[in-house]
Amino acid sequence: MKRERGRLDLRTGLGLLAVLGIVFGTGVLVGSGWQAKAPAAVELEPAPVPTAAAVTAPPSGPELAAAAPPPADASRELADVLRALPPPPVARGDKRFEFEVRTEAGDPLGGVRIEATPLQPQDSTAPAAPRAGGADAELVADLERTLNRVRWRHAARLLGSTDAEGRCTLEGAVEGPYQVSTTSAGWAITAEGFRSHSVLPGGPYKLLASPRSTVSIEVLLPDGSPASAATLWFKSDSMSRSLSWTPARRAHELPPGRYHVEAKSGDGPSYRSPEVPFELGAGVPAANLRLELEEETMLRVIVREPPEEAVDTLMVRLFRVPEGQAPSAELLRWGPNAIGTHPRGRPGARVVERRNAQPGTWLLGVYHSHGGALLTSEVIEVVPGFNERTIDVAPAPRDQFALVHVTGPEGTDWSLLEWKTAYEPSDGGKPAASGRVHPAERSDGRYLVRHQFVEAGATVGTYAIQVRHPKLGSRRVTYPVGTAPDLVVAFDAPSKLDLHVRGVEGSRYAGRLRVQLSAIYPDAVFEDDDPVGMGELGDDGRITFQATQGGPHMLVVTLPVRGFHINRVIRRRIEVPRGGGAVDIDLPPLHVVEITGAREGVDVSGHGPEHHVSRTAYPDDDGRIVVDGLPTGHYVATHEFKRAEFDVPATKTLRLK
């Protein structure tokens, strides 16, 4: 089939992006977008650079890197597609950048390559027009957008090098921020007094060059052959950093100084070299090091759970048993050197690794959560080298779970459900609540939800399960401790609530109030634990909440104030109509008090049935301290050693003495 000139098909687009990953070596592809490598300051890995002092911008069309042509095995078809694409829209302006590069000794440094790339404007990343053809066509459109971002970045950059005086001017800049990066062999370049990731045209911008020396390193496996890849860890009195090593990249540049370096390699069996000291600097012979890897003792544990009981809150504790002691569960739980970690991987088969483990007897425990119930434990004899053990968690008794069936409108995506559990004692004990839990769905569409764990063991009280759907709202069910019931969580059709706070429109509080709505339940310990949504009240005092399920809710209206302070004016239970509807409430009278006798912040506090104020009032531009948003009630104002009590609305002006 003939392809339209300048457009991509799926196979060609994927191949072209693979080529671009090599051609454009100054960034990384992330998803369907382009993201530049952001240096810590302006510093990049040094590389050879041209010595000419270029001061002009590159042409406005797409510029393929001449020094890095497409690989020899790139197909001619891909090259044709690249040439057929229209030039990206790149604007050139009349502004300029000026840079000055000097060494730590104050000497100018020439030959420093400087690159300035404008932060990409929104129109250059706008989505392509929709295409017919389904998922493949959408993917092709994403590939084109990604390609255009890469080409735009390459064409829009300004390039130059410093002259013998250490100066460089980049012409053709437009208004707006640029990202600046530098490269110079043997030197680390850092910005002085500006942020390299967002620089406006102008200058001169000062850059400081610190010398770097080269160390060449060879990394060998225990059999004497070169490692395929490794990570080098450099340590000195002033820094610690890691760098990747391959046989093709043995040389690394570092600032002068005294270092220790070690190498690590391997994902299964792991290897580590002893630390080797070396020195870099003027008058010091070039460092050529050989790091010989030794297999380190490693313990890998694979935890497998019953598929219908998998949870994502597992915790594994590892503890090496001291010589002369016997393994025990208490030793594992409270041992001073026990290592607790959440295993990585998906529920069902997760992995814990302990590198550089000491040979000997180890205890391993698998817990339901941090501080949760012990599911299983084992004693492991760790020997030098690579150790792997698979732990199968036995199915839990059925009485540890509730079986939940979720119903609701037809066509609902139930994979979006979010779950929480709680324990609410009836004897005055301490309640307990979970974070988000992930019960497994059984083949019959129901969910096994493990009871909320309680440290001392629950004997009386109530378990609760809260289920939330982003488009439907939330539901909550409870059941007595000591039971393992079959429960039904029934969602109504999604609805919305139109809330109107009368008295806001036209007042000094229009556009300043914030609202939070939370579902509450008669038997819940934490009334505000199920937020439906929050947002700003409009100038007319109105706001709409989506995905409400009807029933009792807690409405909180606050006046945001400076810092982490509180100025709550309403906290009220309201009834949200099932199926949606409107609720109107009145804004209570809010009063204004001017405080004199203080030149700095004054702490104001007061409480009432619906309001809670605890804030610091600061002087305005005229030096006056004016506190507004105070509901009717009694308050206390303090400043240093001054204290005064007052009531509103009776008090209009308060003087601190």
Residue 133: pLDDT band (50, 70, 90) is low
Q: What does the pLDDT average to over 240-251? A: 89
Residue 97: pLDDT band (50, 70, 90) is very high
Predicted local distance difference test score (pLDDT) of residue 171: 92
Half-sphere exposure of 260 (CA within 13 A, CB side): 7
Q: What does the pLDDT average to over 444-472? A: 79
Fold of domain 298-392? Immunoglobulin-like (2.60.40)
Is residue 238 over pLDDT 70?
A: yes
Q: Under CATH, which architecture does the 213-295 domain have? A: Sandwich (2.60)
CA dihedral 52, 53, 58, 63 (to 10 degrees): 30
How far is 634 from 656, CA to CA, in rounded Å? 16
Residue 311: pLDDT band (50, 70, 90) is low
Predicted local distance difference test score (pLDDT) of residue 44: 33
CA angle 387, 393, 396 (to 5 degrees): 170
Is residue 370 over pLDDT 60?
A: yes
Predicted local distance difference test score (pLDDT) of residue 127: 46
Where is mean pLDDT largest: 71-80, 226-235, 385-394, 468-477? 226-235
Predicted local distance difference test score (pLDDT) of residue 4: 45
How far is 152 from 333, CA to CA, in rounded Å? 57
Is residue 314 over pLDDT 80?
A: no
DSSP for 374-440, please give it: EEEEEEEEE-SSEEEEEEEPPPPPGGGEEEEEEE-STT--GGG-EEEEEEE-SSS---EEEEEE-PE
Flag whether the pTM goes above 0.75: no
Q: What does the pLDDT average to over 73-77? A: 60
Residue 368: pLDDT band (50, 70, 90) is confident
Average pLDDT of the chain is 79
Measured in residues, the chain has a length of: 657
Which of 373-411 are b and which e, b meaning 16 or more Cβ less than 10 Å from the residue's Cβ? Answer: eebebeebebeeeebebebebeebeeebbbbbebebeee
Exposed/middle/buried for residue 464 (C-beta within 10 Å: 0-12, 13-18, 19+) = buried
What is the sign of the dihedral through the CA atoms of 526, 532, 533 and 538?
negative
211 or 455, which is more confident: 211
Is residue 72 over pLDDT 60?
A: no
Q: What does the pLDDT average to over 385-412? A: 87
Is residue 538 over pLDDT 90?
A: yes
> Looking at 101-105, 189-193, 306-310, 624-628, which range is the least confident one?
306-310
How far is 104 from 102, CA to CA, in rounded Å? 7
32 or 618, which is more confident: 618
Residue 65: pLDDT band (50, 70, 90) is very low
Residue 473: pLDDT band (50, 70, 90) is confident
Residue 43: pLDDT band (50, 70, 90) is very low
Q: What does the pLDDT average to over 435-463? A: 75
Do 298-392 and 495-586 have matching folds? Answer: yes
> Looking at 48-52, 170-174, 451-455, which range is the least confident one?
48-52
Fold of domain 590-655? Immunoglobulin-like (2.60.40)
Predicted local distance difference test score (pLDDT) of residue 542: 95
How far is 610 from 612, CA to CA, in rounded Å? 7
Where is mean pLDDT largest: 70-79, 184-193, 299-308, 549-558? 549-558
Map out the domains of the chain as residue ranges. 10-210, 213-295, 298-392, 398-490, 495-586, 590-655
Residue 47: pLDDT band (50, 70, 90) is very low
pLDDT > 90: percent of the chain: 29
pLDDT tens profile 482-534? 888 999 999 888 788 999 999 999 999 999 999 999 888 765 554 445 778 88
Question: Whose structure tokens read 């507004």?
Answer: 628
Name beta bridge partners: 179. 117
Predicted local distance difference test score (pLDDT) of residue 123: 45
Where is mean pLDDT largest: 199-203, 289-293, 447-451? 289-293
Dmax (CA) for the chain in angstroms is 89
Q: Under CATH, which architecture does the 398-490 domain have? A: Sandwich (2.60)
How far is 278 from 256, CA to CA, in rounded Å? 11
Fold of domain 495-586? Immunoglobulin-like (2.60.40)
Predicted local distance difference test score (pLDDT) of residue 458: 58
648 or 214, which is more confident: 648
Question: Whose structure tokens read 């003495």?
Answer: 657
Residue 627: pLDDT band (50, 70, 90) is very high
Q: Cβ(354)–Cβ(331) under 8 Å?
A: no
Predicted local distance difference test score (pLDDT) of residue 51: 32
Name beta bridge partners: 612. 568, 607
Contacts of 345 (CB under 8 A, 6+ apart): 351
Predicted local distance difference test score (pLDDT) of residue 529: 58
Give the residue from 391, 322, 320 showing the smallest Cα distance to 356: 320
Q: Cβ(362)–Cβ(380) under 8 Å?
A: yes
Locate 298 and state its tokens: 């490693």
Residue 35: pLDDT band (50, 70, 90) is very low
Contacts of 324 (CB under 8 A, 6+ apart): none
Amino acid occupying residue 354: R
Number of neighbours of residue 506 by Cβ within 10 angstroms: 10
610 or 355, which is more confident: 610
Predicted local distance difference test score (pLDDT) of residue 73: 52
